[in-house]
Amino acid sequence: MNNVLLDLLALGAILSGIMVITAKNPVISVLFLIAVFLNVAGYLVLLGVAYLGLVYLIVYVGAIAILFLFVIMMLNLRLVELVETGQEYTKSLPMGAFLGSLFFFELLSILPVSYHDGGSLHVSLSIFNWLNTTLLGISNTDTALDSIHHSMGTEGVHAAFNPVVADSTMTTFTQIESIGHGLYTYASLWLVVASVIFLLAMVGPIVLCMSPTPTATATSKS
């Protein structure tokens, strides 16, 4: 029963994500975005990661998504303008296909899957291995995929990139303590990067909303 609920929540999150980018009305799009966060939160709670599920509900649904909803509702957007804008965006489909292929190229390059396992991913992995060999001179068969598959076992992707497995030192911690320990030790660099991104997100709107000084306006007119 638990697996069925996980599959339903995953399917709901995927369908809601598709509706986010295909809905013409921005209000409906934000509502589907809230549905994505709700499905992901339920998925995490069923997996036993209740803290992250509650964070999704409080931060994303309770703050960010509701803020998006209020901002969009206050804007005077016409459906005709949105349709015209959507038609302009369809001209960028080749770029979107290129970026999507690049994403799957990076994703499949680090998957903990061996070529000897076969399966439905064998053809895709072979294509990306050929691209790696042709463009970079690196074979995923000998480096990325098989080494990750044999070195990490069932310990998670993190073990393939860090020789010190963090999970072995956090067996007696609670979920919050484990997240804090990993965030401020092994992932401290990414914490700094995220802080800089948040700083830019705060400074950017302030700079855009600043009105020009009278001196600068007079100088530009003269």
pLDDT digit string, tens, across residues 93-104: 777 788 878 777
- Give the confidence band of 15 by pLDDT, cuts at 50, 70, 90: very high
Cα gap 173→211, rounded to integer Å: 50
pLDDT tens profile 52-100: 888 888 888 888 777 777 777 777 666 555 556 556 666 667 777 888 7
Cα gap 114→146, rounded to integer Å: 5
Question: Which residue shows structure tokens 């302009």?
Answer: 88
Domains of the chain, with CATH numbers? 1-77 (1.20.120.1200), 93-161 (no CATH), 167-211 (no CATH)
pLDDT tens profile 100-159: 787 777 766 665 555 445 455 555 666 656 666 666 555 544 444 444 444 444 444 444
One-letter identity of residue 26? P
Q: What is the dihedral of CA 160, 164, 166, 171, to 10 degrees?
A: 120
Average pLDDT over residues 27-39: 88
The most confident of 3-12, 18-27, 184-193, 202-211, by mean pLDDT: 3-12
More confident: 185 or 166: 185
Cα gap 127→106, rounded to integer Å: 13
Cα gap 133→17, rounded to integer Å: 34
Q: How far is CA 118 from CA 121, 122, 123, 126, 148, in A?
A: 7, 5, 9, 11, 16
Please say if the pLDDT value at position 12 is more than 60: yes
Tokens of 207: 């700079």
